[in-house]
Amino acid sequence: MDMLNTILNVLLPPLTIIFLFLFYPFYLSIKLLICLYKHFRFENVAGKVVLISGASSGIGEHLAYEYAKKGAYLALVARRKDRLEIVAEASRQLGSSDVIIIPGDVANVEDCKKFIDETIGHFGKLDHLINNAGVFQTVLFEDFTQIQDANHIMDINFWGSTYITYFAIPHLRKSKGKIIVTTSGSANIPLPLASIYAASKAALLRFFETLRVEITPDIKITIVIPGVIATDMTTPHFIEKYTSDFIMSESVSKCAKAIFRGICRGESYIVEPSWLKWMFLMKNVCPDIVDYLASYLFLRYLKPSFKRD
């Protein structure tokens, strides 16, 4: 076994470089053809049933509006019933003829079962499941009063999506449907002050990549990797600490439109804003540089705002 690993250590690096040199141009050509094909092949979602978690605000709310404009039926899930009612009414006005709201907590497994059961009970099917519910974090890891305080971040961001997905899979198989999950750029790039948040999003990314292999081709999975988006979840944190929103944040409506286009084109990954793809490439090629920049950003601009008394 050790001999085999030694041989692989010696042979794989040059073979990989040769393979990429010969194959990569061909791969890019195929990707271009697929991209052109998807550009003209846009899914018609009129009459399709879409369940959106975290639909009371942010990306989830604006995705509901994008689906509503195209005539989809909506099941809206979140904890805040009053906000869900507002989003539901706006969705009806935009063109969705059938919208239901299902208040509940994605961190509760019984609530997650209820979300699916009530959706199927009302509509009789499920076509798109959008796992979008999440909470943000801006705290130094060592500043948690109790380490157990970090549990709710993982419970909502990771388990909330996996619970709903578990109960939804049998119904999505019947409809040959889609699962869409919102992760984060922090799953690939270090985000200071968000250690547990980044871990929860990285867990989502790897879980749904693996699940994609397990359930293909019956159900398609689209993984959304947004950067900093100006939502009710992130903006208050930046304003509280720095008196203004993050300079590189993108509007939530623009982000939702890009995500919706990607979903309807059948994209496997949606990175928004698209310049983040180049950051991910840099992270893969020069990880030390990206880690250094993240550390510099933290030490120079962020850490002074989080000094202990």
Q: For residue 84, report the phi and psi dihedrals to the nearest 5 degrees.
A: -60, -40
Top pLDDT among 24 and 201 is at: 201
Tokens 């449907």 belong to residue: 177
Q: Which domains does the chain have, with CATH numbers?
A: 43-282 (3.40.50.720)
The model carries a pTM of 0.85
> Mind listing the pLDDT tens digit for each residue in 128-159?
999 999 998 878 888 888 888 889 999 999 99
First-last CA distance in the chain = 55
One-letter amino acid for residue 233 of the chain: M
> Mind listing the pLDDT tens digit for each residue in 46-84?
999 999 999 999 999 999 999 999 999 999 999 999 999
> Mind listing the pLDDT tens digit for each residue in 107-118?
999 999 999 999
Region 18-45: mean pLDDT is 79
- Active-site residues: which are they? 197
Rounded Cα gap, residues 22 and 12, in angstroms: 15
Tokens 């959106």 belong to residue: 52
H or E segment to which residue 229 belongs? strand 229-230
> Mind listing the pLDDT tens digit for each residue in 293-309?
777 666 655 555 554 43
Q: Of the candidates 90, 262, 255, 88, which has an alpha carbon nearest to the alpha carbon of residue 185?
A: 255
